[in-house]
Structure 1
Amino acid sequence: MTMQNQIHELAKTLPPPRKQNTACDACRTRKVKCNRFPGQDKCQHCLSKNYPCTSVFRHFVQQATSEKKRSSAISRRPRQLSSAGSTPTSPTPLKYASPPEKAPVLTSPHITNGLHLPLMVRYGFYPPITLSTPTREVLSFVFAPPDNPNPIDKVAFSPGRPKSPYEAWGELASKLEDDNFRAEFALDLVEVFFQIVHTRLPLLNPAQFRNRLQLQGNSTDDKPLHPALVATVLAWGTKFSEHPLLVADRRRPGGQSLIAKTLIDRARDLAEALKVHRIPSPDHVVISLLIEPLQSQTPDDPNGYHGFWLTAATRHLLDLNINHKSVMATILDPESRGTMIFAWWMACICDAYGSAYYRRKPILDDDDYDIDFYVVDSVSAEMMDTHSQTPSPREQLEFLGYYRAAHSLARTVRQMSRQLWKPVTESDGIPYDNLVAFTTALVEWRDEYLSMVGVPTNFEGTWDFVSAVSSCASDATYHVIWIILFNALDDFGVKETNGATHEQIDAAKRKIADEALHGALRIAGLAGVLTSNGYLRLDPAVMHVSCIQAGTLLARLGRPEVSNCIAGLDQYSHSYEEAGDQANEMRRSFTHARKGVIELNHMSSVTPRPVASPSAMVVDDHDIIGTNGTSNGFSSPESYLYGR
């Protein structure tokens, strides 16, 4: 086939050129390119965002354009000349193909001229949400009725009662039609955020946030809060709140809240519409860092974790020069300076850990910043949270040495990721020298920091929520790195070199296998303790990845201790829907392993195999921690926590 014929055949497969004014409503609102391939009902943008792909606005534009063209053509049309034998005809009234309609005016956020518009289209044109929009108007968007609710999810109403547009959100959701109730509901969600999420992600000042919320009639001259920040905080609150409205909404198979899922999508949509990911500012840094863990933590989820918002926050921090000590010294307000420094260390640490969890290269490197470790500035009296007399979460975490230890481990993990996730490593294997370097660095970190920031050896002491979850998270984060190294070694193997003997390579592999198994058992023990106290129901995904990695390894090895991780993921599923599917996958993997099916590659020879046991071939909720705090069928969770 000639080159000309090849080009001709290729041209046949290309989509036809699009004409002007053919964008759907959602793409027109966001001012993005609208690509709809032949035979598809939705464009690529609406398909990826799960939006209804409508063209209501285009209908109005095309109708107005066609009417204008017809009127213009009529006015320019020359008067008809009478032909021979005929008499001049009198002008007839102009007839339209359809009755003339006035230009669309969106007087209601729900219905326009009898046509239902997607939510983002409605609020893209009227009313516009800007950075100066009062919070009460933002709530009208955040708590607007759902678009195109699934009939299966609808809740039956009593006979004779008019249906509410909020029907899909449960029997109490119709209360959201009232402006005062929306304000009260929002205040409840804000308090839940500061009680639970803020303890792990202390990026906001509680007193300052409450003062600027302006929902209790205490109007101030302060600028309204960023609409995307308000939407993000409220979305976090719906994950963990036990408000009667949310309790009623969770009365469905799986116990998931449709309100929470909708508010997460709307927080992300609003952040995109206000260009949070594009324009560097302190508010946009905070919003991006709060949205990232709000989403699904499954790498394969198209609407979940892809590092997009974390990358946006990191880029903003670099653009604001927060990575330079000289610039940080110019921020005079201690609260603003403390927030930006904390945001930097959070982005720096999460970038490193995320690179290991999701097998990608980190964005930052050691020479990208020169600021010191995070040091808490004294908080002024007017900025103190009057709702709590305890030290702020930042002060508690810094006192525990969390930041210094986390940054030290992040540097090691960053170096690992740069060496492991390369095409040459995947094809040739991991160099033996790198394995030795990684193992040595992890052992040194354990000797220096684990006893300081990990789980204490004495469980009899009094733990508060911050101390308990922070210690367990630091402990689990360290041990999950061994599991990640084990998985990489199992997938890639060791690069064949002349410098190391087979005995040395086997010894290094056995060391990593032993540490990975110990780490998985320890994480299972931590998950058991936190699950028995109900803490994972209130955890903003801090232990989520650790439970997944540890549980997957234990399930592959047929270890019954996997039930602790399964229990933890089941508890996580109240807030993160995908956790339930991950728990079910672990059950299936465990069942296969107990039948003798071990799916290992390069680490198969150094990993202990389980003994098939018909009585332990199914892991369910009855195999998990008993009411007395001990597990059924194997040792108590605490027994896995010590031994190194």
Structure 2
Amino acid sequence: MADSPSLSTGFTSQSIQNTLHQVATSLPTPRKQNIACDACRNRKVKCHQRVGQEKCSHCQTKGYPCTFFVQQATSEKKRGTGSTRRRGSSISSDQVQTSLLAAPTTPATPTTPRLPATFNHPSHPVGTSGHQSHSLSTRVSDDQNNIMQLILYLLTPEDPSQMPTYLSNGGYRGYRHTGHEKNYVSWGEIGRKLEDQVFRTEFALDLVEVYFQICHTRMPLLSPDEFRNDLRKCIPSNLLAQLTMPVSFLQAPQIHSADPDRTVHPALLAIVLAWGAKFSEHPILVQDRTENGGRSCIAQTLLSKSREVAEAEKVHRVATPDHIVTALLMEPLQSQNPNDPDGTRHFWVSCAIRHLFDLQINHRSSKDNFVNGELKGTLRLAWWIAVLGDAYCAAFFRKKCVIEDEDYNIDVLDEEQTEAHHAGNMNGTSSAQSQYHSWMMAAHAMARCARLMARQLWRPVTEAEGIPAEQVYHIAKLLDNWRDEYLTRVGVPSNFQAEWDFVAAVSACSSDAQFHVLWVVLYNAIDEFGIREFNDATRSGQSPSRLVNYAQIEAVKNRVSDEALRGALRIAGLAGVLTSNGYLRLDPNVLHFAIYAAGVLLARLGRPEVRACVAGLQQYGYAYEEAFSQAAEIEQLFNENGSGLLPDTQFVDPFTHS
């Protein structure tokens, strides 16, 4: 996969201040305010105040005390004195719109550790009352304290009786009765190690590196050097000097950003740490899984708290590049168990799509509105990842697509990229770019097919009446066309070479499996809902065999059944090879559904090849805990439909046999 454009996470706090300054200087001159004392204000008479006298002429004549309490209270209310005002930014392609959102201050319990009351992050700058302003050194100190407190919050075990709650103003409440340090007892030796700030910081940085080594290669939405640089600025220099881990973070090159105050977004940091915990082999996590039957309490805590931080930071409400990336990274982390209340609900990818709509990334004309080429490239890549995620999530989990075909008019490749791709004029990284462009075009074509399937198969009328035979023909034809045009280009080739690297092997297997599982999805829908023409004949008391087109409908049903079985066997073979190489332990939830769906179908048919799916899900379980339960479910289903317990099976290598 080609290197992604680096991420520029939006407009800087300085540009927001400049915009506010321009708006303020363009406002009309305010009218002159008439200041009256309380007595004159109550009597609604003109207040004559003379220089050098303590009382106005009216109060002096009547002997009244000349006070200004009402005027002072009114002025302070208008200025917002004593309250915290929070600016939330909504970024369009050509301007920044800002608004002031009042954020109530929540008092902290004396024994409660909490983050500072302000979170001076560029995406959510916090205004202070009056004319106070922080110096650069003060802002840097605040950012460092905020991020270090955030890491402490994320890596603190949850008290079952007092669930911690992350506040939008940068703080959190919880542990009212015992204090957070006593909760580390629930993590035993693990907790005692994480109490040390140096060890805790090194552990967090290790999770960041794991994310970039494993997850970033599949969804390259971040610039590693830029992210490391933003995070490094949040670590105090005295603590940074104590870090001895030989991680690339310490040697990351300095990035001279246009905004020297820019720091890492808290929600983005939280989700990166949650990703890293899924795949890290850090001794702390190995011990954690060993003590909890293969499941990680730390990884689950990080995932739960990353959702809380994202919600508190208004990731789902405010359209910024950081929030789009955070939402897209959040969706694949969710459980794929439909009975899990925290499972995938198509929520986060829908949020990212709404933000992309707000920024008009789906319009071809929007590319001319981006001066920052890196930002344009990042948002375009985010758009296509959202398109794929929306289509697959809808087809696999029976959701309604957010994106439809007519919702965008941008091309997978720009005009100049398309010409270069067809002409083969790609110098430099020509091979990588060509492979990436082929993959993108194939993935988009498959996404459109999956989108059509979701739109036609998961409608209430389809559930009630069945699938029209015409739609079955159409979907089968689209899948055939995709196979003919793309499978040999992006799928697993017959001359597979063992020296393929992880990314190349897993990318090819993913494209291959995603195509074959769509046949399984189509077969399951026909098996559950039936063909509408057959259902109508049965309901009217006729035999379906008497229909004029009975033979044609029956033929396409049989073909879908054959393709589904062939696809399930193909996926089982791919899973067997990937499992034997340990690759599924490192797959960020791309092949999960395909392996589970293929395993269920093979178990229903009593096919012993299901063993590969079970083994694959068991390897998946180290990162996605619901896979353990899914593997047990498939084993039980096979035992009910097969001939006894699952045997150890030798599989045909799918790389040498199609």
TM-score, length basis structure 2: 0.68
CA shift, 1:338, in A, is: 1.4
Contact 2:363 2:410 in 1 (8 A): yes
Contact 1:170 1:245 in 2 (8 A): no
Q: In angstroms, what is the RMSD of aligned CA positions?
A: 2.7
Change (3 A) 1:377 1:145: farther
Match of 1:582 among 630, 651, 658: 630
Partner of 1:457: 494
Match of 1:399 among 417, 436, 440: 436
Q: Deviations over 1:419-454 (max 9, x none)?
A: 111111111111111111111110010000000000
Q: Deviations over 1:399-420 (max 9, x none)?
A: 3611110101111121121111
Distance 1:482 1:108 in 2: 58
Distance 2:157 2:398 in 1: 39
Distance 1:475 1:131 in 2: 42
Residue 250 in structure 1 maps to residue 289 in structure 2: yes
Match of 1:526 among 566, 574, 595: 574
Partner of 2:422: none
CA shift, 1:329, in A, is: 2.6
Task: Please tell me the residue identity of whatever aligns with 1:445.
Answer: W
Task: Please tell me the residue identity of whatever aligns with 2:297.
Answer: L
Match of 2:159 among 114, 134, 147: 147
Residue 418 in structure 1 maps to residue 455 in structure 2: yes
Match of 2:641 among 583, 590, 593: 593
Contact 2:609 2:649 in 1 (8 A): no
Partner of 2:265: 226
Question: Following superposition of structure 1 onto structure 2, how do residues 28-427 of structure 1 map, counting pairs within 5 Å?
Answer: 106-110=109-113, 127=117, 129=119, 131=121, 133-134=143-144, 135-148=147-160, 164-214=182-232, 215=235, 217=237, 221-374=260-413, 399=436, 401-427=438-464
Task: Please tell me the residue identity of whatever aligns with 1:225.
Answer: V
Task: Please tell me the residue identity of whatever aligns with 1:487.
Answer: N
CA shift, 1:140, in A, is: 2.2
Q: Deviations over 1:581-607 (max 9, x none)?
A: 00000001001111xxxxxxxxxxxxx
CA shift, 1:321, in A, is: 0.5
Match of 1:569 among 617, 622, 644: 617
Partner of 1:636: 652
Secondary structure of the residue that 2:290 maps to in structure 1?
coil
CA shift, 1:499, in A, is: 7.4
Task: Please tell me the residue identity of whatever aligns with 2:523.
Answer: F
Match of 2:586 among 535, 538, 550: 538
245-254 or 131-140, larger mean C-alpha shift: 131-140
Change (3 A) 1:173 1:523: same
Partner of 1:438: 475
CA shift, 1:566, in A, is: 0.4
Distance 1:633 1:362 in 2: 39
Secondary structure of the residue that 1:165 maps to in structure 2?
helix
Contact 1:357 1:484 in 2 (8 A): yes
CA shift, 1:128, in A, is: 5.2
Task: Please tell me the residue identity of whatever aligns with 2:651.
Answer: S
Change (3 A) 1:429 1:148: closer
CA shift, 1:108, in A, is: 4.6
Q: Deviations over 1:525-549 (max 9, x none)?
A: 1101110010111111000000111
Distance 2:434 2:291 in 1: 38
Distance 2:281 2:400 in 1: 39
Q: Deviations over 1:44-93 (max 9, x none)?
A: xxxxxxxxxxxxxxxxxxxxxxxxxxxxxxxxxxxxxxxxxxxxxxxxxx
Task: Please tell me the residue identity of whatever aligns with 1:165.
Answer: N
CA shift, 1:244, in A, is: 1.4
Task: Please tell me the residue identity of whatever aligns with 2:156.
Answer: A
Match of 2:516 among 450, 475, 479: 479
Distance 2:108 2:364 in 1: 52
Distance 1:244 1:473 in 2: 30
Distance 1:338 1:244 in 2: 38
Distance 1:565 1:478 in 2: 17
CA shift, 1:165, in A, is: 2.8
Change (3 A) 1:634 1:179: closer
CA shift, 1:461, in A, is: 4.7
Secondary structure of the residue that 2:614 maps to in structure 1?
helix
CA shift, 1:334, in A, is: 2.5
Contact 1:338 1:376 in 2 (8 A): no
Distance 1:303 1:397 in 2: 39
CA shift, 1:633, in A, is: 3.5
Distance 1:149 1:540 in 2: 32
Q: Deviations over 1:323-363 (max 9, x none)?
A: 01211232222221111111100101111111110112211
Partner of 1:559: 607
Partner of 2:542: none
Contact 2:346 2:399 in 1 (8 A): no
CA shift, 1:398, in A, is: 5.1
5+ residue gaps in structure 2? 1-105, 123-142, 163-180, 241-253, 418-427, 535-545
Task: Please tell me the residue identity of whatever aligns with 2:577.
Answer: V
Secondary structure of the residue that 2:533 maps to in structure 1?
coil
Q: How many residues align?
A: 472
CA shift, 1:137, in A, is: 2.9
Change (3 A) 1:170 1:525: farther
Distance 2:459 2:109 in 1: 53
Change (3 A) 1:398 1:338: farther
Question: Following superposition of structure 1 onto structure 2, how do residues 604-643 of structure 1 map, counting pairs within 5 Å?
Answer: 613=643, 617-619=644-646, 623=647, 632-638=648-654, 642-643=657-658
Contact 1:432 1:500 in 2 (8 A): no
Secondary structure of the residue that 1:401 maps to in structure 2?
helix
CA shift, 1:397, in A, is: 8.2
Distance 1:105 1:315 in 2: 35
Secondary structure of the residue that 1:251 maps to in structure 2?
helix
Change (3 A) 1:176 1:559: same
Change (3 A) 1:416 1:246: same
